Structure 1
C-alpha cells in the first residue's frame, strides 16, 4: 500500500476525479499504535512508517475536553459512554500527512516546537475539514488481564464482561478484579495467595493457613482462631499500606499475628482500611469521518475519506483512586462537616 500511495501522491494523476480529487480507501497507517506528546496546550498524536516510503501522520489538538496535562498520559478527561468529536481544519485542530527524504524519528520530530530541518519534507497534506472521533475505554478488561495488579487474572476474580455482576467477596463496593484486598482483612491479596513449600494450600494452589478450604486471600480469619485478621494487624501498618507480611505485626517467633492460631484475643481493634487506589491501563481509539486533506502548496489535488480508523493510543499505568463504601462514607461526612464549618464562619 505504501508504494501505491506514494505513486498516487507523486504522479497526481492516477484515479483522479473530474474535480481533481483523488479518492483512496486507506493509508498504510490504519490500525496504528499511536504515540502522544504535549507542546504547550496542544496534544500531538503521531504514527511513523520508515519502510519503502518515509512517511508520517500527525494530529494536533487543542480542546478543553482533552486532559489538562499529560503527567498521567491520558488523552481524555475520563471514561464516558459518549465519544469525543472534534472538528478538523487547516489551522488549530488539524491532521498532517507528510513524506520525507529520509528516515524519521517520531518523538524527536513531533515533540518540540520547531521540527528539525532534517529529514526534509517532500510532500505535505493538511486537513481542510473532517471530524476526529476519540473513544476512550479501559485497556485491562480481558479475562487474562490483572486490572488491580494483585497477581490474579480478572477471570479468576469473578469479572463479568457485561459489567453487571462482578464478584465482590467482601461487599465493600469494589469488585474483586479491582480490589487489592478482596476479603477486607487489611492484608493485600497479593501477599495472601502464594504458599511456601510445606504450607497448606487449596486445590487451586492458594495459601490456606487454617485448611478450611477458603484461600487466605478470601478468608477474613486466615488462621481460624476466631479473631478477624483485620484485628490482628496494627493500625500503623494499615496507614503505611504495608504489603510485606514479614513486616506486619508479629508474634514472638516472628510469625504475623494473623497467622498464629494460638493468639485468640484481638490485638488491634480499629476501623481503618487499606488505601484501595490502583493503577490501570486506558485505550483511546482514534477515527476520522468526512476527512479532507489538501496539498499545502495550494494544488487542487485533495485526498478524501468518508471514514478512516487511524489506530489507538494506550496509556499504562495510570493512578486509579477508588474508595470502599466505608471510606466513601467517611469522606462524605468529613466534607459535610467542612461545609457546615464554612457556613458557620461565614455567618460569624
Structure 2
C-alpha cells in the first residue's frame, strides 16, 4: 500500500501552453517512514528515487520519549503508554528534490554528503500529531487469540497461574518454571488447544498443567540437586525418557523459591499526521505522513 501526495508542477508551467490552467502532478512515497534521533530531536523522513526526492520533518522529541511507558497503577507487572496521542507544534518540514540519487545518510549526519545536488527545497512549519499503539506478546508459540481460555474476548482476565501476568503475556502460563514454548509441539494455522502436548493424559495440556507427569510432585519442584536454576526442563536423569518432570519414575522434590524471568515482546505502532502545511507547491494542508513500527522487549519476574 502506498500513500500519494499531490504537488503543483511548477517546472511544467514553463514548458506548457500558458492558457491559465494550473497543472498538478502526483508523487508517490511509501506509507511507512524512517525515524532517527538527532541529538535531542527526532527526524522523520522518506526518500525515493526516479525522481530523487525526500520528505522530512524535525520534531522536538526523541523516539524513546514517544514510546515511553509507565507501570500500571493496578498491576506492577503491566505497563501503559505515557502518551498515546502526543502533539508537537512548530516543526520544520521540507520537501526536496535532487539531481543525484540520495540515501538516508543525508539526514542527521555530522558531515552531510557534499554531492547532494539539491535542486529544490520547500520548507514550512507544521504541527505533528502521533497516534501510538502498544502491542505486547509473550512469544510463547501460542497465538494470543488462543489464550482467551474463558472465551469472553478479554485476554486480560485469563491468568492460569495467578501470578499477575495474563496468559498472553506470560511465557510460563502454568507457573511451573518450564516455558510454555518448551511444553508445546509445532502447530499449523489451524492450531487448536486440543493438539497441545499432554504427557499424563489427564486432559490438561502440559503448558497449563502444574504436575505434567502426575507423579504427585509439582513440576516446579522437580529440579536436580545440582542444578537449582528455576528450570526443570534441563534436569534429565534418563536420556531416553526426557526431563525428570516428564518421567513418572523419577521424583525430585527440590522446593522452588522463585519464578524465572519472563520476557515480553513489545511492538509500538506509530502513525504520524502533519497539519498546517503552507507551501505554494503543495495542494493540501494535511498530510498522512505514514506509519513506523518500533520493537522492544521488557523483562519481569512475578512475585513467588
Partner of 2:32: 33
2:101 aligned with 1:99: no
2:290 to 307, 311, 314: 311
CA drift at 1:229: 0.4
TM-score when normalising by structure 2: 0.77
TM-score when normalising by structure 1: 0.68
Distance in structure 2 (CA, Å) of the matches to 1:98 and 1:189: 51
Q: Deviations over 1:162-184 (max 9, x none)?
A: 75644222121111111110110
Unaligned regions of 5+ residues in structure 1, if any? 14-21, 69-74, 141-146, 196-201, 294-300, 328-348
2:249 aligned with 1:224: no
Q: Deviations over 1:199-232 (max 9, x none)?
A: xxx9733221101121111111100111110011
The structure in which a higher percent of residues are helix is: 1
Distance in structure 1 (CA, Å) of the matches to 2:281 and 2:290: 22
Partner of 1:284: 270
> Counterpart of 2:207 in 1: which secondary structure?
helix
Mapped contact 1:26–1:308 kept (Cα < 8 A):
no
Distance in structure 1 (CA, Å) of the matches to 2:27 and 2:148: 41
1:77 to 60, 65, 68: 68
Unaligned regions of 5+ residues in structure 2, if any? 15-21, 70-80, 187-191
Structure 1 residues 146-295: aligned runs within 5 Å: 147-158=137-148, 165-194=156-185, 204-234=194-224, 239=229, 245=233, 248-253=234-239, 255-264=242-251, 266-293=252-279
CA drift at 1:122: 1.0
The structure in which a higher percent of residues are strand is: 2
Mapped contact 1:235–1:270 kept (Cα < 8 A):
no
Mapped contact 1:133–1:287 kept (Cα < 8 A):
yes
Q: 1:4 to 1:213 in 2, by over 3 A?
A: closer
Q: 1:176 to 1:2 in 2, by over 3 A?
A: closer
Mapped contact 1:35–1:47 kept (Cα < 8 A):
yes
Partner of 2:45: 46
Aligned CA RMSD, in angstroms, stands at 3.5
